Amino acid sequence: MIKVKNLHKKFGDLTVLNGIDEHISQGEVVVVIGPSGSGKSTFLRCLNLLEDVTEGEIYVDDQLINTSKVNINEVRQKMGMVFQQFNLFPHLTIMDNITLAPVLLKKMTKEDAVKKGHELLKRVNLGEKAQAYPAQLSGGQKQRVAIARALAMNPEIMLFDEPTSALDPEMVGEVLDVMKDLAKSGMTMVIVTHEMGFAREVASRVLFVDQGMIMESGTPDEVFGNPQNVRTKLFLSKVL
């Protein structure tokens, strides 16, 4: 579903990604872990070209996307993204946050989008908040709305960029629960996170990224239970 070949990303002189090859298949839940500054968020942001790629190729559904021939907006419609800082639109109600993109991009009529919005809000346990504004919600509620907003476009893939890192500890659980349900429903997901327990429980595969490269890749049992790479061992000994 997503194929990454020899991905490099430089910010000026700073090399953040240094040759990443990766293949993510349909239905996989890939959790990306690694120390801060390792390039894991940049890797995720390259997948929908929120960062432009310095070198290498990214394919989505066998289509090369980092070329000027491709309409990136259409590709992004298939890829939902959830941000660390939620990035809800503060001037719109929760319902308008959810329906803006599908209606504007003519994926649905307004009525269908609102109906779908109510379903999605129910799914993330925020059924009664449709007419509230983002400022009236807690962090955990905002992030669940952000997930619902991304799902409203019926994406094939969901990207999560440290979705719980900006949350108060007692709100982490509610967001992870929504993500677990989503994983169970068969959604293809790529998740950058520091929640090792969650990674262990939900991931079908874990990637350990350090110094802009994938140092280790395997099932949670393999990576957490019997890490092969020295850096993985060092990192896990610090965080577990």
d(CA 175, CA 44): 19
The values of phi and psi at residue 123, to 5°, are -65, -35
d(CA 214, CA 6): 11
Closest distance between another protein and the C-beta of residue 218, in Å? 29
Closest distance between another protein and the C-beta of residue 230, in Å? 35
- Compare residues 81 and 223 and give the one whose CB is closer to another protein: 81
- Compare residues 139 and 227 and give the one whose CB is closer to another protein: 139
Closest distance between another protein and the C-beta of residue 107, in Å? 9
Which 171-210 positions form the footprint of another protein (CB under 8 A)? none
Instruction: Quote the tokens at residue 86.
Output: 């939620």
Instruction: Quote the tokens at residue 23.
Output: 């293949």
- Compare residues 41 and 193 and give the one whose CB is closer to another protein: 41
- Compare residues 17 and 88 and give the one whose CB is closer to another protein: 88
x/- binding map, residues 10-49, to another protein, per CB under 8 A? Answer: --------------------------------------x-
User: What's the one-letter identity of residue 163?
Assistant: P
Instruction: Quote the tokens at residue 89.
Output: 């639109």
Closest distance between another protein and the C-beta of residue 74, in Å? 7
* Count of beta carbons in the 10 Å neighbourhood of residue 53: 18
Does residue 106 touch another protein according to CB under 8 A? no
Closest distance between another protein and the C-beta of residue 206, in Å? 24
Q: How do strand 29-33 and strand 2-11 relate by DSSP bridges?
A: unpaired
Alpha helix positions (H), 93-229: 94-104, 110-123, 139-151, 169-184, 196-202, 220
d(CA 147, CA 67): 28
Which 123-182 positions form the footprint of another protein (CB under 8 A)? 133-136, 149-150, 153
Stretch that binds another protein, among 54-62, 93-101, 183-191, 215-223 (CB under 8 A): 93-101
Closest distance between another protein and the C-beta of residue 156, in Å? 12
* b/e code 180-216 from CB counts within 10 Å (16+ = b): eebbeeebbbbbbbebbebbbebbebbbbbbebbbbb
| Cβ(180)–Cβ(201) below 8 Å | yes
- Compare residues 192 and 215 and give the one whose CB is closer to another protein: 192
Residue with structure tokens 């890939």? 30
x/- binding map, residues 48-87, to another protein, per CB under 8 A? Answer: x-x----------------------xx-xx-xxx-x-x-x
DSSP 215: E
Q: Give residues in contact with another protein (CB under 8 A).
A: 48, 50, 73-74, 76-77, 79-81, 83, 85, 87-93, 100-101, 104-105, 133-136, 149-150, 153
